[in-house]
Structures are given as structure tokens and as C-alpha cells.
């Protein structure tokens, strides 16, 4: 192959020299691990309320901020039909009602990540009431919901009924998270930081069957039963929270109708001061037995399953007086740290976000722009005096089953906030009625998902090694270089 011995030795020396150079370069290269960016995680939560169900999909970086995910809302989907508690007599329909939104959610989550997505369903006051009335039907409804969710390629974590206090606490967490009270992004630091002087907001939630108040009082919470403690972003929080079952807007209207009928001397036609003039509604006495809030027997009610017609009178002052009778304010005596029914509550302090039905009712009345309490009262009083013909022609797009009830709902909100929670002319200005912050909905589900990220381990950064460690590279290079030089020297001696 080689013409002579000289050429052969020259070739060997050339190969050895090349290997030496490669080894030398290898030893000089600084080898580091390559860290890949954190991956995106997803989670989904069904809010199974008393009157409707909604699904929310959230996402966050796997590299969490102080053990709590920085969560954002990716999707919201409203389930068609009523709340899952309405399917007590036909539980499979409760599960089937979720399918459309589940299909929608899977379109928003990459297929490769779907099986790792934690999925939850939290039921609130509607199911709490059903559990009091029919525990077996409640279990069947939850079982059918779970059965449906297990059919989808997600990590189903359970369907359960939240306590009222959990609902209030998670609503408070959502509120302050969205308002950057816990953490906010600093463009200067290029990272999430804890505000030096965070403005912590209280949360006011009004649903169909219950209402919640949650806030951080100025002093300590005297009654430990009403306290909620937790840690977010490395900081501890201690808040007051209480939930009032049967004080959601739908149950209050039902209780109001029952009380008006019980007080009336007529057995078939009853005046309703909150309904507009010329509006009539016929209800059956048996409907009161469908809810634990109204199923207690009352000797003042007419006997049998008779129908009664409620005739609107459009009287704002009488409406307000009738609603106040639904509260037991005398149980508090002269105590200032008490709302009604003898329930302890510290004095309200700080700013509050009022969402859900608080917001929707006041938005209809155009009262969500920070109007004074005097303006709010005047607007509600004027609305209550309008006739049914006037209202139906002025609001043709509003659902006819909702329109006649805004007077009662608005007066109930005033009674709850002023007489029960003890807001006044001054502190009223600290209540902000809103349903969204940015593109995210205010409610308990985001707080629930955010809190659960403390139980989902943060992923360690993925580290990819591009070469062998530099210490081994240097050792190999030294051995190759030594052998090459030694062999070259030997060949030279033989040649000579």
C-alpha cells in the first residue's frame, strides 16, 4: 500500500498527530449541562353550582413560583341546562350534561399532555342542599359525573361537594391572585415578585343557594371556626370566611314567596310587593317541599297542594321590609361583631370585590361603576315602581322569568350588605362589583386550582448532557497524546 518504509512511518505519524489534536481540543472544550425550558402543565375544574355548571381550564409553568403555580385561565365553557342537583331523579343526565364542555376542553389541551391533566369537579350549595334532602340521590349524581369524566383521557381526581367555607376561601384566593396581591411580574427583574405592600381584597360571592363573605380582618379572628389558614407563594394567610346556606338569591326568593303566602289572609291571591305591577305568577305549595330551605311545615299556610297566584304591587319600601323579615337580626343583640342568626363576624375592613350574582344583578341596573349608596338606593326604588308592561317593553331581550325578580334581588343585596354585613355609607365605596379581571373569571375555581398546585410537585429542570464530563475528556486526551508522542519517538529512533 505504501511505496516504502518512509512513507508508512510518515502516515502513522500523521494519524497520531491528528488524534492528538482532537484529544487536545476535547480537553479544552468547556462542557456544561443544557437546561431545557419548563414545560406547560394544565388543569381543569368544573364549578357545579346550584343553577348551572361551568368548566374552566388553567395552565401554568412546571417551574413553580415558591411552590405555587402561576396559573392563567385558558378556557371557560358553560354547560347547557341547570345544575347537576336538578338531575336527582335521573342521575345519568348529570354526567351526560358535561360531555360538550369536556370535548371543548380537549381541543384546547395538546393531545400529548391530556392524560396528565388533573381534572376535578366541585359541587357547591345546590348539592349541599340535595345531600340534606336525599343523600342517596346525591351519591348517584356524583357517581354518574365521575363515570363520565373517567371516559375522557384526563387524570380524573374526583368529584366532591365543597363546604361553604372552602367555597368562600377559594373565592378569596382567586380575587387576590387576579389582582396581583400575592405575586406580580416585574419587567425590571424579569421574574415574579411579592408586592412590598400588597393590597389584600375581601371577597363577596352570591350564588343561587348560598352566599359567602371572606376577608382579612384588622385584628385576629376571635372564633376559630370561622378562620381559614393557608400558605401561598411562601406567605401565610389567616382570613375570616363564612357561608350562609339558604341565603343564595334563588332560595331567598323562594323563602320570600312562602312567607308572603303564610302572612296573607287570602288562600289563592297574594300581594307580592317586589314584583312589578300587572305581573302575576302562579306557584304550587308543593314546590316549597323541594328544598330544605322551605320544606318546614308552617301552620299558617293553606292546606293541601293548592296553587297560589302572586300578584305584583311594585312597592319598593314594602319589598325591602318583607326581605328584612327573612333575617334574624335580633339574635345578635347589641353585638357589633355579629351579622344575623347569631353568626360571629369581625367588622368589615379593606376593599372588597363583589362577584357572581352581586355583579350580574347590579350590572343589569347599571350600578357597577362605583355609584354612591344614595344613587344605588334611588335607582333600585325607581326600578321597583315600574310596571310589568313598562319593563317588558324596555328590556325585550331579557328573559321573562328573570325580569320581574330584579327588584327583589336588588333589595336583598342591599339588606345583606348593609344590615347583615354592616357596610355603611363610607365603606360602601370600598365595594367593587366585577366578574372578570383581565380575561379571567372571578370565582372559586381558580383559587381551588391554584391551591392544588401546592400538592402537584414542581418538575425539576430537564438537564441534557451534551458530552462526557470534561475531567474524563482531559484524561483521555492526555493518554492519547502521550502514546502518540512516545510512538513517534520510537519510530524516529528506528528510522535513524
| Model confidence band, residue 458 (pLDDT cutoffs 50, 70, 90) | low
Specify whether the CB–CB gap between 214 and 230 falls below 8 A: no
The pair phi, psi for residue 73, each rounded to 5°, is: -85, 130
> Does 413 have pLDDT greater than 50?
yes
Please, what sign has the CA dihedral across residues 288, 289, 295, 301?
positive
**pLDDT at position 297:** 86
For residues 31-57, average pLDDT: 84
In terms of CATH, what superfamily is 40-163+446-452?
Answer: ATPase, nucleotide binding domain (3.30.420.40)
- Taking the C-alpha atoms of residue 130 and residue 290, their distance in angstroms, rounded to an integer, is 9
| Model confidence band, residue 157 (pLDDT cutoffs 50, 70, 90) | very high
Specify whether the CB–CB gap between 404 and 279 falls below 8 A: yes
> Does 180 have pLDDT greater than 80?
yes
The pair phi, psi for residue 382, each rounded to 5°, is: -65, -40
By percentage, how much of the chain surpasses pLDDT 70? 81
Specify whether the CB–CB gap between 465 and 33 falls below 8 A: yes
- Output the average pLDDT for the chain: 87
> Does 279 have pLDDT greater than 50?
yes
For residues 411-425, average pLDDT: 97
Q: What are the residues facing 465 on neighbouring strands?
A: 33
Instruction: Residue count of the chain, please give it.
Output: 496
Active site residue 167: yes
Do the two domains 40-163+446-452 and 201-434 of this chain adopt the same fold? yes
Q: Of residues 60 and 418, which shows the higher confidence score?
A: 418
Report, at the CATH architecture level, how domain 201-434 is classified: 2-Layer Sandwich (3.30)
Buried b (16+ CB within 10 A) or exposed e, 2-21: eeeeeeebeeeeeebeeebe
**pLDDT at position 2:** 46
Element spanning 165, H or E: helix 164-178
Q: Of residues 68 and 224, which shows the higher confidence score?
A: 68
- Taking the C-alpha atoms of residue 144 and residue 308, their distance in angstroms, rounded to an integer, is 36
> Given 65, 144, 166, 167, which residue is catalytic?
167
> Does 261 have pLDDT greater than 70?
yes
**pLDDT at position 450:** 85
What are the residue ranges spanned by the domains of the chain? 5-31+467-495, 40-163+446-452, 201-434
| Model confidence band, residue 6 (pLDDT cutoffs 50, 70, 90) | low
Q: Which of 251-265, 349-363, 429-443, 462-476 has the lowest mean pLDDT?
A: 462-476
Q: Which of 6-20, 89-103, 209-223 has the lowest mean pLDDT?
A: 6-20
Amino acid at each position: 500500500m505504501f511505496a516504502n518504509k518512509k512513507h508508512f512511518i510518515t502516515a502513522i505519524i500523521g494519524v497520531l498527530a491528528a488524534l492528538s489534536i482532537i484529544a487536545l481540543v476535547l480537553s479544552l472544550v468547556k462542557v456544561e449541562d443544557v437546561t431545557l425550558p419548563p414545560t406547560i402543565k394544565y388543569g381543569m375544574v368544573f364549578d357545579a353550582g346550584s343553577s348551572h355548571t361551568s368548566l374552566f381550564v388553567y395552565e401554568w409553568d412546571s417551574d413553580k413560583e415558591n411552590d405555587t403555580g402561576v396559573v392563567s385561565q385558558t378556557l371557560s365553557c358553560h354547560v347547557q341546562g341547570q345544575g347537576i342537583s336538578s338531575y336527582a331523579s335521573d342521575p345519568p343526565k348529570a354526567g351526560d350534561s358535561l360531555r360538550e364542555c369536556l370535548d371543548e376542553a380537549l381541543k384546547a389541551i395538546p393531545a400529548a399532555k391530556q392524560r396528565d391533566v388533573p381534572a376535578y369537579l366541585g359541587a357547591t350549595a345546590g348539592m349541599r342542599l340535595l345531600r340534606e334532602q336525599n343523600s342517596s340521590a346525591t351519591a348517584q349524581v356524583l357517581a354518574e359525573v365521575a363515570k363520565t369524566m373517567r371516559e375522557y383521557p384526563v387524570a380524573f381526581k374526583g368529584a366532591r361537594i365543597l363546604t361553604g367555607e372552602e367555597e368562600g376561601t377559594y373565592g378569596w384566593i382567586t380575587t387576590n391572585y387576579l389582582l396581583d396581591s400575592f405575586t406580580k411580574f416585574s419587567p425590571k427583574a424579569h421574574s415574579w415578585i411579592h408586592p412590598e405592600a400588597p393590597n389584600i381584597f375581601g371577597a363577596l360571592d352570591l350564588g343561587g343557594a348560598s352566599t359567602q363573605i371572606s376577608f382579612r380582618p384588622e385584628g385576629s379572628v376571635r372564633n376559630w371556626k370561622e378562620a381559614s389558614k393557608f400558605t401561598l407563594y411562601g406567605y401565610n394567610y389567616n382570613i375570616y370566611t363564612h357561608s350562609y346556606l339558604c341565603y343564595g338569591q334563588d332560595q331567598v326568593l323562594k323563602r320570600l314567596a312562602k312567607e308572603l303566602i303564610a302572612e296573607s289572609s287570602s288562600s289563592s291571591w297574594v300581594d307580592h310587593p317586589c314584583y312589578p305591577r300587572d305581573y302575576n305568577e302562579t306557584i304550587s305549595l308543593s314546590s316549597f317541599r323541594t328544598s330544605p330551605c322551605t320544606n318546614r311545615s308552617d301552620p299558617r299556610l293553606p292546606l293541601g297542594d293548592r296553587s297560589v297566584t302572586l300578584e305584583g304591587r311594585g312597592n319598593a319600601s314594602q319589598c325591602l321590609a318583607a326581605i328584612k323579615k327573612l333575617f334574624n337580626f335580633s339574635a345578635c343583640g347589641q353585638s357589633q361583631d355579629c351579622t344575623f342568626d347569631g353568626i360571629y363576624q369581625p367588622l368589615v375592613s379593606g376593599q372588597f370585590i363583589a362577584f357572581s350574582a352581586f355583579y350580574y344583578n347590579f350590572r343589569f341596573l347599571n350600578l357597577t361603576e362605583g355609584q354612591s349608596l344614595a344613587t344605588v338606593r334611588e335607582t333600585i326604588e325607581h326600578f321597583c315602581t315600574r310596571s310589568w308592561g313598562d319593563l317588558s317593553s324596555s328590556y325585550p331581550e331579557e328573559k321573562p322569568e328573570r325580569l320581574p325578580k330584579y327588584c327583589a334581588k336588588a333589595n336583598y343585596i342591599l339588606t345583606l350588605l348593609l344590615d347583615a354585613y354592616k357596610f355603611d355609607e363610607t365603606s360602601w365605596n370600598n365595594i367593587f362589583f366585577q366578574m372578570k379581571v383581565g380575561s379571567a373569571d372571578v370565582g372559586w375555581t381558580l383559587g381551588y386550582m391554584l391551591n392544588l398546585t401546592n400538592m402537584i410537585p414542581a418538575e425539576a429542570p430537564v438537564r441534557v448532557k451534551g458530552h462526557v464530563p470534561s475531567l474524563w475528556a482531559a484524561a483521555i486526551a492526555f493518554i492519547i497524546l502521550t502514546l502518540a508522542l512516545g510512538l513517534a519517538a520510537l519510530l524516529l529512533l528506528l528510522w535513524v
